[in-house]
Chains A and B, each alone.
Chain A
């Protein structure tokens, strides 16, 4: 008996939540959105941190909540916990991001605690020394992870002398840090001017902004200009092979040029990327996983930073099929760059792109993350309407054109981390290989 797949019910029009926004006199922009599904509030504070010195900035992000003049780290943690709250800081080359959540009734208290840390963090000697040792240990562990090592090598290869080239400090740079540079960095860069606070949850948006204004009004000052030069164009060259003796898999990484979110051709590029390798039902995954069994998963995505965007494709493949995996990967890149996608596979990718936008907005945390991320690029959620329209409108020819320009294997920068002795002969059969010095 054959049964027929039910049709999809067409989606209703994209319904964007209302964003309330106010820029306070200290330069802090506050965006508040009501989504009252659960009685919580999500908090995201993005502070521009471009060109901040890497080692102190990384340790600052770990030590931010370790003390104020009136509270030690345990007091801060306990007070936050009392309103169901938790906050943590993270760093990337563009920003310091403080994120967390709390019971909705605890919003005021959470913002008060956030304000006291922003205006009065003391970086106590004892706590900073604890966090310093912990950070060194974390970096040590990261350096034993193949995915991290492959990323380190790829970033260096992609960005050369640009600040994005190194995003994790060396343990020895951390070991020598005292609290002094953290306090100086905090004073210089943890400033409200240009920062964006996003609040999403079971809140009254206007009231939440009023509270933020009252509580964070005392945070003041401007930071020095942290803007970064645009990222350099990728320089192609030999495949870079990084040795990891005894590795039972190889980490394959390919960087390609890409477009920024606001580029008119970005939707077409994103669709081309989906067809190639950007989701499970892509050619790349169907080939090297579902047909050949070379990998558990492969994935490609466009990564956006403030100073530029790049497309990165990644897969962990079995050591003995590293060469064949590269062969199939280059084949799929060559195919999407040379021939237009099929009608049905393009429609499938388009529906996926449009659908996942809706999924991403369906939770408080998803909305908060989107609003904060967009704000970091000077955009608001209404950009989603424009982007959805561009995804809907992109033609097969436009997608093919974007693919031939940005997914061409001739433009790829390739890094492979693995057991060099076993994989170098396989890779050398396909392309020119250069061993990493490190």
Chain B
């Protein structure tokens, strides 16, 4: 066998400071390409939505693009794209992010735009009704009008969790969306969109001193408002296996997803990280354990995936979260059999350990993926902002390839040993379409 390849690392510089109003800032300059990425994350997500307002965090994200103190509706989009850039936002379980990537010369404009909406979006009845319609179309595209819509990220949490915060549908019911009011939106902004509850990060082609001056200029006068107290969303692990199923009227073939609770990703990161590596040992590529067994040998699954966090954001999620495995099955496939085989392979791993080279090669591929993600300015600005928000440690992004490579076999084996059937929640998709 070839000698083990050395796992390289990145050394992106990281500067951190806090403005007088409590806004935390992360700067990561890198002048290798003439582009900048700007991200603002707020410490609020799907889990913080009030009951009766499912989907509100995401709806509110849309409202943040509808104009602000000095900007008409449509202005944000036009100013970013008219600077040669792109923009977007996304709503996660624990945070909501807003970001732009632009040619270097657009940096100050992006900062202006983010500061303006941090002071306050224009929350009007007309914009709200318009964006409720848009969000309903988004849900139709991504969930209702396609096969396997929302599988498993919207379908598994209600099986796994009991509290509203963890279990509810983060895209929201049409009923809840339609009954949302401007007052709800103002209240949500007042409570969660405080600058003390946010992080601004900038990555890419800029000078730190110049960028700092620009940030002071645009964000310095955003009124100071304290962050709300961070809720603890923890709940007890399930006591006994949970299995649910539903019929997807569009899907032509069966599918199944299973999840197990994992250690607190932030409080006990060193216990959590082995599960991230374990997911890859099990499912990354044709040489991984479960792909080899289920897809290649038994042919009981067509495709297989494994990851941490319901939205695949394994380093950007808080407790409670899960290791997920999902499989699409051939016609007539037996989900029960797939779950039993997974149990068998986990038992084998827990009993016999890893094969020579198995961990090294998995870690090498994980390093490539991590490094690949950071080549893009937004692949640095976004995660650094969230890592600052949740951990006060944006530099973790640089450390990940090394930390992944330091996970030891006994940790993987121990992690595999906890994925017992009695701790498993699963959801099965019955195909509702004839094929």
Residues in A lying within 8 Å of B, measured CB to CB: 2-3, 5-12, 15, 35-40, 65, 73-86, 101-106, 109, 127, 130, 133-134, 137-138, 140-141, 143-147, 246-249, 279-281, 286, 289-297, 316-318, 347-348, 351-352, 354-356, 358-359, 361-365
Contact flag A281-B82 (CB < 8 Å), given A144-B147, A290-B130, A358-B35: yes
Distance, CA A249 to CA B4, complexed state (A): 52
User: Do B253 and A73 touch across chains, with their CB atoms under 8 A apart?
Assistant: no
Which listed residue (A12, A35, A37, A105) contacts B30, Cβ 8 A?
A37
User: Do B78 and A140 touch across chains, with their CB atoms under 8 A apart?
Assistant: no
User: Do B133 and A347 touch across chains, with their CB atoms under 8 A apart?
Assistant: no
Q: Which residues of A contact B137 (CB under 8 A)?
A: 249, 293-296, 316-318
User: Do B145 and A348 touch across chains, with their CB atoms under 8 A apart?
Assistant: no
Does B362 count as interface, using CB distance less than 8 angstroms? Answer: yes
Q: Which residues of A contact B169 (CB under 8 A)?
A: none
Contact flag A8-B140 (CB < 8 Å), given A37-B33, A81-B287: no
Tell me the nearest residue of chain B to A362, going by C-beta: B33
Tell me the nearest residue of chain B to A352, going by C-beta: B81
| Shortest beta-carbon distance from B144 to chain A in Å | 5
Q: Which residues of A contact B109 (CB under 8 A)?
A: 5-8
> Given A294-B137, A316-B141, A352-B82, 19 other A-B contacts at CB below 8 A?
A2-B70, A74-B296, A77-B286, A81-B284, A81-B364, A82-B2, A82-B357, A84-B368, A134-B303, A137-B253, A137-B331, A140-B435, A144-B250, A146-B145, A316-B140, A317-B137, A318-B136, A351-B84, A355-B85
| Shortest beta-carbon distance from A220 to chain B in Å | 27
| Shortest beta-carbon distance from A333 to chain B in Å | 20
Tell me the nearest residue of chain B to A143, going by C-beta: B252
Does B292 count as interface, using CB distance less than 8 angstroms? Answer: yes
> What 1/0 mask marks residues of chain B from 79 to 98 whose CB sits below 8 Å from any chain A CB?
10111111100000000000
| Shortest beta-carbon distance from B131 to chain A in Å | 8
Q: Which residues of B contact A65 (CB under 8 A)?
A: 286
**Which bucket holds chain B's interface residue count?**
35 or more
Contact flag A106-B5 (CB < 8 Å), given A248-B145, A295-B137: yes
Which listed residue (B34, B69, B78, B302) contacts A137, Cβ 8 A?
B302
Contact flag A39-B84 (CB < 8 Å), given A11-B104, A144-B251, A316-B141: no
User: Do A40 and B2 touch across chains, with their CB atoms under 8 A apart?
Assistant: no
User: Do B34 and A103 touch across chains, with their CB atoms under 8 A apart?
Assistant: no
User: Do A359 and B101 touch across chains, with their CB atoms under 8 A apart?
Assistant: yes
Distance, CA A348 to CA B79, complexed state (A): 8
Contact flag A81-B145 (CB < 8 Å), given A2-B70, A3-B70: no
Which DSSP category, helix, strand, loop or mixed, fits chain A's interface? Answer: mixed
| Shortest beta-carbon distance from B360 to chain A in Å | 7
Tell me the nearest residue of chain A to B2, going by C-beta: A82
Q: Which residues of B contact A316 (CB under 8 A)?
A: 137, 140-141, 145
User: Do B82 and A347 touch across chains, with their CB atoms under 8 A apart?
Assistant: yes
| Shortest beta-carbon distance from B296 to chain A in Å | 6
User: Do B32 and A37 touch across chains, with their CB atoms under 8 A apart?
Assistant: yes
Q: Which residues of A contact B302 (CB under 8 A)?
A: 133-134, 137-138
User: Do A86 and B365 touch across chains, with their CB atoms under 8 A apart?
Assistant: yes
User: Do B86 and A84 touch across chains, with their CB atoms under 8 A apart?
Assistant: no
List the 5 shortest-distance A-B pairs measured between CB atoms, nearest first: A355-B84, A293-B133, A9-B105, A84-B368, A77-B286
Tell me the nearest residue of chain B to A135, going by C-beta: B302
Q: Which residues of B contact A8 (CB under 8 A)?
A: 83, 105-106, 109
Tell me the nearest residue of chain A to B85, going by C-beta: A355
User: Do B144 and A248 touch across chains, with their CB atoms under 8 A apart?
Assistant: yes
Distance, CA A344 to CA B131, complexed state (A): 26
User: Do B368 and A348 touch across chains, with their CB atoms under 8 A apart?
Assistant: no
Does B6 count as interface, using CB distance less than 8 angstroms? Answer: yes
User: Do A364 and B375 touch across chains, with their CB atoms under 8 A apart?
Assistant: yes
Tell me the nearest residue of chain A to B115, going by C-beta: A3
Contact flag A281-B102 (CB < 8 Å), given A82-B5, A82-B361: no
User: Do A358 and B103 touch across chains, with their CB atoms under 8 A apart?
Assistant: yes
